[in-house]
Structure 1
Amino acid sequence: MAKLTKKQKSLAEKLDAEKLYGVNEAIQTLRDLKSAKFDETVEVAMNLGVDPRHADQMVRGMVSLPSGTGKDVRVAVFARGDNAEKALAAGADKVGAEDLMEDMQNGNLDYDRVIATPDMMGVVGRLGKVLGPKGLMPNPKLGTVTPNVEQAIKDAKGGQVEFRVEKLGIIHSGIGKLSFSDDALKANFDAFVDAIVKAKPSGAKGKYVKKITVTSSMGPGLKIDTAEVAGV
């Protein structure tokens, strides 16, 4: 971690590990403790009362963050003909078919989102062992297998993020940068949490949202007072 200033050290020493923060207070505290020279990412982690080993307790989906992510999202698209031209015009970073498949098989996977038209799934299916472990496999339920590649690219580059609960019941995502305004980060926080709440699976028992933590790339994890979070 970068060296803290005297002010930051003083603030860090005063942090109560058990304190519950309001969202805006947590964001301001992360700003006060900022030590990195780069624009840190603000992240939200949620501990959920689910066991994703059971299919009826899986939590997965997409959410569009109203303020964007502040990240340059690289998108690869599997498409041919007119759809390939539309994908390029919409801003895809790479478009192809068998050639793109071979490129990925050779380890070129510097993408944040992979999209495919339905007719290309025969080709994409051969990349299951390559894309699956990285969470990049196109999926119709997530809108990444679609004939409307233009909208899918627009969504990906405009602030749409994918979420998926991990095996310990934790789900997390970046929701913007510390350079964002308080209102922008709060809007993204609300959108993300709301999407997780709405994605509550049928098999979830007991308390669904157990804990919410907000942190930054180089900052501490701050516990959020869930009593102040709408819908939780």
Structure 2
Amino acid sequence: MAKLTKKNKALAEKLGDNQQLYGVDAAIQLLKDLKTTKFDESLEVSLNLGVDPRHADQMVRGMVVLPSGTGKDVKVAVFARGDNAQKALDAGADKVGAEDLLEDMQAGNLDYGRVIATPDMMGVVGRLGKVLGPKGLMPNPKLGTVTPNVAEAVKAAKGGQIEFRVEKAGIIHGGIGKLSFSNEALKANFEAFVDAVVKAKPSGSKGKYVRKVGLSSSMGPGLKIDLAEVQGA
């Protein structure tokens, strides 16, 4: 990490006790002020939830469209034939195919951020379970990645839709943009992400659902967000 300037040392001192709580606006601005790297760092949100994902009725998983986008170019592969294949290409899919795409992925070509399939293609896609599953790329109807509306799914993936999924410790992480975004754009993404997680509260969650929320940048500190500013927490 680059050496802190006098200004940034002073800002770092403002962090003080790591138990300090921040408003969303203040946290975003502070992370921008503390940035010392030359590359465009990502802004990341984390939520500690009152769930135990080892139990099926406490799993938290879903999709959310970030209104300001992600700042990343997501490569999308689509399993489809005929008209659906053409619709996927027209919508901006990077790779579309059937058995040929299967063979390509079996050969190790898996440089994709999203894999989508029409329902009739799941017999082919199912053969890739051991390949796509561990990477979190297996098409899933609950997430809208197994769908007859491939054009809509491709546009969503390209337009800022991301997946969230709770980890073993009951934590969800998500990248919600770049520090080069305006503060307003980052806050809008933050609110959309948190709202989606809140709405995805599982039936098995008892007691307080959202227990902690944090914001951090790729190379910056983690800041704790005041839950009073988190709607639905």
The TM-score with structure 1 as length reference comes to 0.98
Residues 1-232 of structure 1 correspond to what in structure 2 (within 5 A)?
A: 1-16=1-16, 17-232=18-233
The Cα shift of 1:40 comes to 0.8
Q: Distance in 2 between matches of 1:109 and 1:72?
A: 15
Shifted more, 24-33 versus 11-20: the winner is: 11-20
Q: Classify the secondary structure of the residue corresponding to 1:173.
A: strand
Which amino acid in the other structure matches residue 43 of structure 1? E
Q: Classify the secondary structure of the residue corresponding to 1:122.
A: helix
Q: Classify the secondary structure of the residue corresponding to 1:176.
A: strand
Shifted more, 78-87 versus 18-27: the winner is: 78-87
The TM-score with structure 2 as length reference comes to 0.97
The Cα shift of 1:212 comes to 0.3
Q: For this pair of structures, how many residues does the alignment match?
A: 232
The Cα shift of 1:13 comes to 3.0
Which amino acid in the other structure matches residue 202 of structure 1? S
1:182-219 Cα deviation digits (max 9, x unpaired): 11111111111011111000000111111000001111
Which amino acid in the other structure matches residue 86 of structure 1? K
Q: Distance in 1 between matches of 2:180 and 2:225?
A: 20
Q: Classify the secondary structure of the residue corresponding to 2:133.
A: helix
Q: Distance in 2 between matches of 1:53 and 1:100?
A: 34
Q: Classify the secondary structure of the residue corresponding to 1:45.
A: strand
Q: Name structure 1 gaps, 5 residues minimum.
A: none
The percentage of aligned residue pairs carrying the same residue is 81
Which amino acid in the other structure matches residue 54 of structure 2? R
Q: Distance in 2 between matches of 1:159 and 1:204?
A: 28
> After the TM superposition, which segments of 4 or more aligned residues of structure 1 sit over 6 Å from their partners?
none
